[in-house]
Chains A and B, each alone.
Chain A
């Protein structure tokens, strides 16, 4: 059983964290090839997404197959605000995150009554409705062609243009996500989430307002997805509904579970493995999903708790 106690907050070692961040900060000087840096940026996006999803799935135990919709909400919000209303990047980023938070809250409300896999289907339905509306509402979202020509983002005097610039932007977002989640999971909120996951009934008897905490976990996890979507919009300079299909939500779930649920850093290993596998087998396009499927099955048959997960928790 994973231990999330106050101790982990106390042990939070500032020096080792600074060292890792410093190491990551010099990475673009080691990887100069823009193709590899592009893959690194992809890993950063999925890291933000999966850390958010891990809060929902790994900590609170809610299965969400609609994470791509919140990712998409963030992406479309940034794209529309920046191309039509002349917003600069920073406010667009914040609004995107908050929009995903609000929709997460709305979708979280039914958890009060709709439980378990019924809730999972609700998230699938939300994701599909989002994607189909994005495809059909052509005047607002550009339909299947999406929105193109999203301007180059600027934060104060920093123009984010090259792969390296985007790497640093992504790194800042990842560090923000990680630090905020460290604080959140070590707080009473984090302990409440874990209590709900372990035994919802017992948690409610202990005085935890379980519906409120579930909605909270769901909306905070979605908030990060909104940030990641906003980043994707400016990084790709285009946004299309096909980036936010159900497959994408499945991929995020796979990353979290293969990496290991319920620990803050473990999903990153899943992100790295799945992203690298997708890239490495690109030349074997015909066999790619076959290989990825085999990897998924074998990893979980031999390490059901995920690669770096702590012991699997009970259902």
Chain B
């Protein structure tokens, strides 16, 4: 029993990590709480739903198309609602335009798909394999594999690819990167695009393993991403991973061993206790004031 709960927890954790990476990355660079993140990835997941359920497209192509559409939407939101406000403004203002963008995306998706729970088709064969006497469903294995491949791949991209290095530089210091000839606007667009892509991947994997998708998951997704990012330390890739895992595991353990109606309050209590012990998250660095 416990092993199965742990396996599901790790799978959900991996999905949360995927969703959190995009959020945390945007935060790391712009110090912006991207309230539109959840709604962007739900939009992409809904696109995937339509492609799969209505057009019966090849699942691989459908997920790819949905991820690209989510990425483009995220980049578009950045272009319209955030770019003008980036220079020399209080950052709470772009937070509110983010919230405005979230409302617009949410409402538009609702007009197209309605607000009921839709049944998302399974992506993977509905079987399970037995490892050392533990039954694991194929969906869980595939989900975990996809998440690990994407996270490792992204880490390598950041370290070795030119555009990835540019992202790291911009997150350190925007003016200096600009002086070094890094195209700031393009790099930020890439960050938003990738954030949207990873979010949609996470959303599709989550919806496929629970066979459900609804608009209302968007705002919750934003809060999960924020919580996971903060638990791990905002703006750090490893932090997103740890935060996502802690959330996924604790949610599953609590809903199985305590009660699913106390899932959210206990998760938030864990968050509060972590913040009281480590005020900048587990991997976050303490910022010292500059004089």
A contacts, CB < 8 Å to B: 57, 63, 110, 113-115, 117-118, 120-122, 124-126, 128-129, 132-133, 136, 200-201, 246-247, 250, 253-254, 257-258, 261, 286-290, 292-297, 300-301, 304, 312-315
Contacts and interface: CB of A to CB of B under 8 A. Distances in A.
B279 to A, nearest CB: 4
A290 B90 contact: no
Nearest to B223: A124
B107 A300 contact: no
Contacts, number: 134
Given A201-B289, A293-B104, A117 B234 contact: yes
7 contacts: A110-B275, A115-B279, A122-B275, A124-B223, A126-B268, A128-B265, A129-B268
A129 B269 contact: yes
Given A114-B276, A257-B93, A288 B107 contact: yes
Interface stretch (B6-14, B95-103, B180-188, B198-206): B95-103
A114 B272 CA distance: 10
B109 to A, nearest CB: 10
B101 A257 contact: no
Interface residues of B, number: 48
B100 A293 contact: yes
A284 to B, nearest CB: 11
A287 B111 contact: yes
Interface string B257-291: 00001101100110110011001110000000111
Nearest to B284: A118
Contacts of A289: 103-104, 106-107
Contact of A129 (B27, B108, B265): B265
Contacts of A126: 268, 272
A296 B265 contact: no
A128 B268 contact: yes
Q: Is the interface of B mostly helix, strand, loop or mixed?
A: helix
B209 interface: no
Contact of A312 (B93, B102, B264, B275): B93
A132 B223 CA distance: 15
Contacts of B227: 121, 125
Interface stretch (B56-64, B79-87, B157-165, B168-176): B79-87
B91 interface: yes
Contact of B261 (A136, A295, A300): A136
Contacts of B275: 110, 114, 118, 121-122
Interface string B230-243: 10001000000000
Q: Which of A132, A133, A292, A293 has the most CB of B within 10 A?
A: A293
A32 B274 CA distance: 54
Contacts of A287: 107, 111
B152 interface: no
Contact of A297 (B80, B107, B268, B291): B80
Contact of A294 (B93, B100, B102): B100
| 5 A-B pairs with the lowest CB-CB distances in the bound complex, closest first | A293-B103, A296-B100, A293-B104, A290-B107, A125-B268
A128 B271 CA distance: 12
A200 B290 CA distance: 11
B264 A128 contact: yes
B46 interface: no
Given A117-B234, A261-B90, 9 more contacts: A121-B227, A247-B219, A254-B96, A288-B107, A293-B103, A293-B104, A294-B100, A312-B90, A314-B90
